[in-house]
């Protein structure tokens, strides 16, 4: 059987979720966020594991920090996994706070981020111990994002994204100016 496994005739046994989770944490703490994200993603998808979804979200968030100004794709994945963690374990304030922080920090990637952060906040009871702190942070972020200086900064950040997007177009699309032939 070992010979068949080595030769590829039999599929390798699937990794245990606990092993993948432990490997993900090792990668995360070694700052290998890409590998960590892969490990946590597999555990999250395999068993609807809130903790794994949370760590996958954190891993993608770190990847987006490294990829500035092109980190919006990882930010979207981070948002997806942190939202899933919050949905699976709504009683965990750590998950909710991580998602809220990500929404505030990703306002330059998504116009809806501040709106979604506000919706998340206003869905919470005002008696929640985190409510007043989160409301204060949301108001600060709203003021900051409404300034003209920030809007001009977003325009300058948009230029490399557009250039990168045009460079990624197929050659026939560039030749026709993006218009259908």
Does the domain at residues 16-143 carry the CATH identifier 3.40.50.970? no
Alpha carbon distance, N-terminus to C-terminus of the chain: 56
Q: Where are the domains of the chain?
A: 16-143
Chunked mean pLDDT (size 10), the chain, 181 residues: 43 56 94 94 90 94 68 76 94 92 81 86 90 90 69 55 52 50 47
Percentage helix, strand, coil for the chain under 3-state DSSP, each rounded to 5: 70, 0, 30
Nearest CA to 27 out of 16, 17, 37 is that of 37
Is the pTM higher than 0.75?
Answer: no
Confidence (pLDDT) at 106: 80
Confidence (pLDDT) at 152: 55
Confidence (pLDDT) at 73: 64
| Mean per-residue pLDDT over the chain, rounded | 76
Helix (H, G, I), strand (E, B) or coil at 135: helix
């Amino acid at each position: 059987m070992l010979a068949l496994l080595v030769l590829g005739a039999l599929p390798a046994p699937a990794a245990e979720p606990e092993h993948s989770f432990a490997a993900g944490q090792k990668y995360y703490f070694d700052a290998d966020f890409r590998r960590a994200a892969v490990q946590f993603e597999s555990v999250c998808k395999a068993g609807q594991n809130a903790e794994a979804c949370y760590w996958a979200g954190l891993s993608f968030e770190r990847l987006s920090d490294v990829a500035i100004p092109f980190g919006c794709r990882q930010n979207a994945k981070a948002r997806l996994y942190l939202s899933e963690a919050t949905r699976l374990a709504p009683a965990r304030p750590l998950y909710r706070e991580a998602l809220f922080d990500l929404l505030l920090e990703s306002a330059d990637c998504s116009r809806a981020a501040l709106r979604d952060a506000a919706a998340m906040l206003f869905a919470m009871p005002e008696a929640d111990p985190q409510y007043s702190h989160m409301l204060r942070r949301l108001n600060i972020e709203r003021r900051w994002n409404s300034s003209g200086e920030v809007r001009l900064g977003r325009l300058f950040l948009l230029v490399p994204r557009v250039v990168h997007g045009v460079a990624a177009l197929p050659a026939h699309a560039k030749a026709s100016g993006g218009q259908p032939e």
